[in-house]
Each structure stands twice: as structure tokens, then as C-alpha cells.
A and B are shown apart, each in its own frame.
Chain A
């Protein structure tokens, strides 16, 4: 598997501010990472695929200008929620796929964002 670490685990911010979440692959050089979002009692929804050294690929309906993704190295991807609003409050989880061929994902601990 892969060990994935996220920071911060919890963040509370005021409406209109920006929040950055870091995702680190600790034992695997990940050219690709995936960002998911989960609302309470809901399923995980794929937001975007983060590609090292290039632009992220966003899923339909996800605003790329609002959710900025940067994958500057093989071990770090960041998600910035810009001008956050209460409806952005959610559990954001990053994940790594090790390329083993079957596609299983290994998830970070998740970051719970609360926008007041």
C-alpha cells in the first residue's frame, strides 16, 4: 500500500477566506493523486485528479477556479478552497494509487473543513 498524510485534519474558517489543505505521499512517489469530497451521510465524490507537474483534471461540475490544485512534487499535492462559503463545509480526502494495476486507492486521514 501507500501511506498518505493530510494536514490540517480540521480547519474552521470565516466565509470568504481561503484554506489550503496539504496531501503528502510518505512512502511512494505519486505522479497522480486524487481529491475526494464527502458530505455527511453521503458518498465520496471525486473532485479532481492531481497530476504532478501539470494541470489538474477536474470532474464535471467542480469549479476549477474555486478548488485550486497544485501538484508541485511527487510527494505533495495541495488543494486550496478559495473564497470559502458555508456550503463548502465538507470532509476533503486525498488519495494515492500506487499503479499496482488494479486501481485501489489509499486515502489520507481527511481534512474536515467548516466554514462559518
Chain B
């Protein structure tokens, strides 16, 4: 089983602040990394993916990948109360069928007004 670890939180930040979410993974051969957002009682929705070392920005979201450290993070700038959700890190290992993702337990984020 491929291990994906996240701080379970909860993480609480004020509106307008930067929220930083972290994830580590055990399979050094992992190639694709994903961040999903899941509201309570709902299914996950894709925020962004990254597969190259470095940063990838999409609006208020920035994913960072460091394969040497087996670490991936998500930064949310100008956090809004609507960002309050559980954020799931997912990994697709080397050799795995595309779509066979392994998820962390998620970090619960609360953005307070």
C-alpha cells in the first residue's frame, strides 16, 4: 500500500491569510500528484495536479512538489470562508494504472471571517 500522509489538522486561518497544506508520500516512484477539495458530505473535486518539481500556480492556489524530499504542498492565498473544507492529497504511483490514486486522510481547513 502506498502511504500518503497529511496533517489532519484542523488548520484554522483568518480570511485573507495564506493557508499552507502539506503532504508526504512513501513511494519514491510516484509520478503524479493531486490536490482535491472535499466539502462535508460531498465527493472530492479536483483543485490541481502537479508532476514536475517546482511550483505550479492556478489562481489563488499554488502546488509545490519536491520529489527528492517526497513532499508536496498546497498554498491557498487570500483564503476565503468558502475555502473551508477538507483538502485531500493524492498520489498516482509509478506503474499504476492511471486513475488508481492513493489518498491521504485529508487536512481540515477552516477560514474564519
Contacts and interface: CB of A to CB of B under 8 A. Distances in A.
Contacts of A44: 44, 88, 90, 101, 103
B60 interface: no
What is the interface of chain B mostly: helix, strand, loop, or mixed?
loop
Interface in A83-113: 93, 95-97, 99, 101-110, 112
26 contacts: A32-B97, A32-B99, A41-B105, A43-B4, A43-B103, A44-B44, A44-B103, A45-B103, A46-B100, A46-B101, A46-B102, A49-B99, A93-B43, A96-B99, A97-B98, A102-B32, A102-B51, A103-B32, A103-B49, A103-B99, A104-B49, A105-B46, A107-B43, A109-B43, A110-B43, A112-B41
B78 interface: no
Interface residues of B, number: 25
Contact of B43 (A1, A46, A99, A108): A108
Query: What range describes how many residues of A lie at the interface?
Result: 20 to 34
